A = this chain, B = another copy of it.
Amino acid sequence: MNNQKAEKTDQPLAVCLVSGGLDSCVTAALAARDYRAAFLHVNYGQVTEEREMKAFNDIADYYRVPERLRLAVDIGYLKKIGGSRLTDPGYRSRREDGIPDTYVPFRNGNILSIAVSWAEVIGAEQIFIGAMEEDSSGYPDCREEFVSRFNRAIDAGTRPGSHIEVAAPIIHLSKGDVVRKGIEVGAPLRLSWSCYTSSGPAACGMCESCRLRLKGFSAAGAEDPIEYDQ
């Protein structure tokens, strides 16, 4: 079902990576302005996967993404591989390179590769990802340099004429800018979910991800529309 070409309309097709968090919600809104967006959600054994999946579906419904262009894939192998507190709650890094324990080694390489495979099959020419340099605490695969080099690898590794390219429209924004941009383009921020530890109905407000999100809303002078325990 997912490998059929989408119906032809005037708008070109783009794959949009939607974790269900704030950043991907705003990125999806940006993609939906110029493209028919095919939403891709990747589960890799996160503790809050179920809640993230709900956010993904809510945002996809909001943008009326047809069922066949909504793809959820499970890369539980990243949990098996380990090396991150996001997939193994007991994990603690022994390195002192400033990269937090929540870093999942080469996660974006894995996720973008899946998006490239799907993009090639459905004929999408853009892949939207909500990666951010500043607020991703030094994850190496969230940097523009990585995206740019990965694009050159895609160009060599796909069918001639595919012209698939990764777009990272919020990569240089701060979390406050992302909130502002989301409000400006009417992104359904109330449907997004960022919390790493709670699966709802309220977010914890305490984890690294909640704190970053709340800081973003505060910097934008806006109120976060989701509920918090704290």
How far is it, in angstroms, between the C-alpha of A97 and the C-alpha of B114 when the chains are bound? 22
Query: Count of chain A residues with Cβ under 8 Å from any Cβ of B?
Result: 49
Taken together, the copies of this chain in the complex come to 2
Secondary structure at the A interface, as helix, strand, loop or mixed, is helix
A146-B157, A149-B152 given as contacts; is B83 within 8 A of A73 (CB)? no
Interface residues of A in 32-82 (CB under 8 A from B): 71, 73-75, 77-78, 80-82
> Is A120 an interface residue, CB under 8 A from the partner?
yes
Other than the given A109-B116, A146-B157, 13 more pairs (CB < 8 A) read: A2-B80, A75-B77, A83-B117, A83-B121, A103-B159, A109-B113, A109-B157, A110-B113, A140-B160, A143-B156, A145-B156, A146-B153, A152-B152
Task: Kindly list the 3 A-B residue pairs having the minimum CB-CB distance in the complex, ordered from nearest.
Answer: A3-B82, A83-B121, A73-B77
